[in-house]
Amino acid sequence: MILSLLLIFSSISKSDEKFSTWLENYKKYAINQGVSKKTVNEAFKNTKLLKRIITYDRNQPEFIEKTDVYVAKRVNKQKVIYAKKLINNNKKLLDKVEKKYKIPKNYLVALWGVETVFGKHKGKVDIISALATLSFDKRRSKYFSNELIILLKLIDRQVVNISDLKGSWAGAHGNFQFMPSSIKNYAIDYNRDGKIDLYTSLEDSFASAANYLKKIGWDKNPWGLKVKLTKEINKKHFTFDARKLSDSKKIKDWIKMGVILPDNYKINLNTKAKLVKPDGEISDVYMVFNNYEKILNWNRSLRFAITIGIFSDYLKDA
């Protein structure tokens, strides 16, 4: 027992030592990338290796839960009722944002609900430590290292304050869980108070989320729907992985191949669509359109995008 404990502590000590060495090298790298020495010293003065975050990264629910389980945990009757109430309470703001950015309010509120349960769970993790930990970890080091540099430059430019940087284990921040690159590219000071506040300001949060979707190419079509098949379709035509999307075809061509749409479903049959099976070959089939792919830009998970779509459909008439 004593020997086992000594081995565990030795392993922990070694990983902490390696992280400390990595951090010192990363500070030099950040300065070489144009970040001021003052920002580097201030940002990293309390940075720690958060080992639990590496465990979270290996066990994300988007990739291990079946779709019906994943959706049921995030969309239920009570949550839909509450979301409709929030839409009514924030109608003036949501209408203004929808008019300006052409993003329907039901999608924005669905994203808000799934990402942070309408702002109730925005995360309490130190974002700098989270990004440093995931940069140090080898699985997606390049991606998180780049996000960390972007964040340091945002701090340098006083776009964000270090004291505000609490969020998710993956380094995402605010009501809509923006990564640093999303803050840089899409965040807006919508209420013109001189700062971008994605944590407490619903004005900045909704407008930034809408600006994000608009900038990446949102259109007027729906996200998609669950469909039935009258005959077997070759598996090469389906998307099973959000990183390997299948080819698009016109809806009318999918119908010829055996896809059935509901009788009351109205959409131009020349619209391009993909077929998605989120749970592998034995799975429900979803026909998805351009906006579904834009939700994948937000979070590259087939189940996440389906959940946002389903939730938004419940909120259409709110």
Q: Are 273 and 289 in contact (CB under 8 A)?
A: yes
C-beta atoms surrounding 127 within 10 Å: 25
The DSSP bridge partners found for residue 226 are: 286
Q: Are 133 and 54 in contact (CB under 8 A)?
A: yes
* Axis-axis angle for helices 2-32, 141-156 (nearest 10): 50
Q: Are 206 and 108 in contact (CB under 8 A)?
A: yes
| Cα–Cα distance list, 191 to 88, 94, 271 (Å) | 20, 13, 37
Q: Are 218 and 297 in contact (CB under 8 A)?
A: no
DSSP 8-state code for residue 177: T
| Cα–Cα distance list, 142 to 69, 135, 148, 243 (Å) | 32, 7, 10, 17
Q: Are 50 and 130 in contact (CB under 8 A)?
A: yes
From the list 17, 24, 98, 115, the catalytic residue is 115
Burial call 83-111: b when 16+ CB within 10 Å, e when fewer: bbebbeebeebbeebbeebebbbbbbbbb
How far apart are alpha carbons 318 and 314 in whole angstroms?
Answer: 8
Task: Give Dmax (Cα) for the chain.
Answer: 70
C-beta atoms surrounding 304 within 10 Å: 25
24 a catalytic residue = no
Q: Are 146 and 210 in contact (CB under 8 A)?
A: no
Active-site residues, by number, are 115
